[in-house]
A and B are shown apart, each in its own frame.
Chain A
């Protein structure tokens, strides 16, 4: 029986990439679904999600399985698990997983690499573990999540995966080259 094969967004782009003290790889985040509650349905939605409230701006809400990542005013994306049944009356539920390329940047140099591309404050106080930001990575709109002290997840549009890898590759090489300089 013929099946339609699935291709990941960064397939064929040369990942994983290890340059200097930074490492870039593609991750499969699992299902990614946008959930935006209709007016007055926040409480009902929370109950339907097993008691999890939508995260406040810039935060990630860990659940038993999966996590809710703030994705804009009045909405969040559920990452890692499919959306439970019965939400369609309470919220706009929209699949987003196929439209996103998800990369993981980690290492001692990860923050220095991001500093070349991302115009936000990445210091520990401003962007701790568990924080997320919707911002720009050079020209691309991205969702940035600090998942560990030295590891970040970057979500960008699937169609721009090649540009995303190119930008990070260049930045990784620039940072690594300084380490080797006299």
Chain B
């Protein structure tokens, strides 16, 4: 599997650590309540299709958001997490 680090270019999957879907970009406020935090920490959608995920490019230290299709395995691009977070 090849994934593009926005800084380093297309690289092999082995250079990355995958965290999971991009829920982390929508962190609730401290006092948002137990249900909101439970959902944030434990609940995830598992779509058959396009998914946005948090990946870490270990050699350069960049956290990126990768969009890929869980059915076709096609990778549809990536952006630095900083940009996605805004």
The yes or no verdict on A and B being binding partners is yes
Bound-complex Cα distance A181 to B41 (A): 58
Specify which chain B residues have a CB less than 8 angstroms from the CB of A142 in the assembled complex. Answer: 59
Bitwise, A60-75 to B at CB < 8 A (1) or not (0) is: 0000000000011100
- Dominant secondary structure of chain A at its interface with chain B: strand
Q: Please classify how large the interface on chain A is, using the bins under 10, 10 to 19, 20 to 34, 35 or more.
A: 10 to 19
Is A141 in contact with B8, judged by CB distance below 8 angstroms?
no
Is A134 in contact with B59, judged by CB distance below 8 angstroms?
yes
Bound-complex Cα distance A71 to B57 (A): 13
Once A73-B80, A119-B15 are accepted as A-B contacts, the answer to whether A135 and B59 lie under 8 Å apart by CB is: yes
Bound-complex Cα distance A142 to B9 (A): 16
Is B14 in contact with A134, judged by CB distance below 8 angstroms?
no
Bound-complex Cα distance A90 to B7 (A): 23
Bound-complex Cα distance A79 to B11 (A): 26
Is A135 in contact with B11, judged by CB distance below 8 angstroms?
yes
A-B CB contacts (within 8 Å), total count: 35
Bound-complex Cα distance A135 to B15 (A): 7
Q: Which of B1-51 contact A (CB under 8 A)?
A: 7-9, 11-12, 14-15
Which residue of the partner chain, among B8, B15, B61, contacts A58 with CB atoms under 8 Å?
Answer: B8
Bound-complex Cα distance A89 to B59 (A): 27
Q: Which of A67-111 contact B (CB under 8 A)?
A: 71-73
Bound-complex Cα distance A88 to B48 (A): 49
A133 interface residue, CB < 8 Å from B?
yes
Is A57 in contact with B7, judged by CB distance below 8 angstroms?
yes
Which residue of the partner chain, among A73, A119, A133, contacts B14 with CB atoms under 8 Å?
Answer: A119
Known: A134-B59, A136-B58. 11 other contacts (CB 8 A): A57-B7, A57-B8, A58-B8, A58-B9, A71-B60, A73-B62, A73-B80, A134-B60, A135-B15, A135-B59, A136-B14
